[in-house]
Copies of this chain bind each other. A is one copy, B any other.
């Protein structure tokens, strides 16, 4: 937004005739940050497929080529956008004394972040060596150390939690691209459940059993349940007690 200059709306290309020094330039210079912010805006509002260099340029009222002066390519733009969201998420993360709750808190922060910005969920799988990825790794592994997991097991335990969190993230990103956006969640899941129950109960006993809990289930709660399950496994294997 920021100081919207009064602008006479010539519907076509805007008044190229006038030139009062520089007052007419309604964009106060492009910048990487401004581009990333606009990209996030598009991604959040219209989804990953709507982020186009042309659309982005239009939103910033500039040419598509101008963006390349500040950003190498689309991959870097996406990476920068998700890094931005991730950084902000980490900034508001409360410090937890208890290691298990620290992991739980981090995991939930990731979940909520991807819930708000689904496109971030796919980004993890694209540039796994990024610094932002490392912050998640540390946010999981640090507490694991404090939990008393032995050195040899640290890597495996950390990777298990990380992969679980990323898996849910990717899954949620996928769900956001789906009919759910058109149809309401409840009826949609009810419909899926209905189809599940039409399968051969002999061949799909579990799917049948679980179908009824599908429409009412809470993704977020199911997500933590999984984290707790992994934590329970870690504690069972490496009993260093201290946790709720």
Contact = CB atoms under 8 A, between A and B. Distances in A.
Contacts of A199: 134
Contact of A171 (B128, B140, B145, B230): B128
Nearest to A137: B207
User: Interface residues of A: mostly helix, strand, loop or mixed?
Assistant: helix
Given A128-B175, A160-B229, A210 B167 contact: no
A236 interface: yes
B154 A206 contact: yes
Contacts of A162: 167
Contact of A209 (B145, B164, B203, B217): B145
Number of this chain's copies in the complex? 2
A134 B237 contact: no
A145 B206 contact: yes
A210 B174 contact: no
A159 B227 CA distance: 11
A55 interface: no
Most buried by B among A124, A157, A174: A174
Given A128-B174, A155-B222, A156-B222, 18 more contacts: A126-B177, A128-B175, A128-B178, A129-B192, A134-B207, A138-B203, A138-B204, A140-B206, A154-B206, A156-B229, A160-B226, A160-B229, A163-B164, A163-B171, A164-B230, A166-B171, A167-B167, A232-B232
4 nearest A-B pairs in the assembled complex, by CB-CB distance: A167-B167, A141-B206, A233-B233, A160-B226
Interface of A: 122, 124-126, 128-129, 134, 137-138, 140-142, 144-145, 151, 154-160, 162-171, 173-175, 177-178, 192, 196, 199, 203-207, 209-210, 213, 217, 222, 225-226, 228-237
